[in-house]
Amino acid sequence: MNFVKKALFVVVFMLIANRAIVYAQPTNPPGGDPDKVPITGIEYLLISGGLLGGYKLLKRKKAKEE
């Protein structure tokens, strides 16, 4: 029973600590547009995948014409 109490205490403590960390995130800089979102790695991967797919389709189309 002692282990269960310790485990419960640790879980509750972690939930409270996590809540404090989440609410402590910085705000937007003054005068900045809050709707701006930077392009991250996943967007770069999507763009490059689309470009590569388009290139391969164009290449296949040219090969069929010849």
What pLDDT digit, counting tens, does each position of 38-61 carry?
777 888 899 999 999 999 999 999
* Average pLDDT estimate for 14-26: 70
Domain that holds residue 11: 1-25
- Residue 34 resides in a domain: no
Q: Is the model's pTM score more than 0.75?
A: no
8 A C-beta contact, residue 51 and residue 45: no
Angle, vertex CA 35, rays to CA 30 and CA 40, nearest 5: 105
- Residue 20 resides in a domain: yes
- Residue 45 resides in a domain: no
Tokens 């509750």: give the residue.
12
Catalogue the E-assigned strands of the chain: none
- Residue 4 resides in a domain: yes
- Residue 54 resides in a domain: no
Question: What's the structural domain count of the chain?
Answer: 1
CA distances from 22 to 18, 29, 38, 41 (A): 6, 18, 20, 23
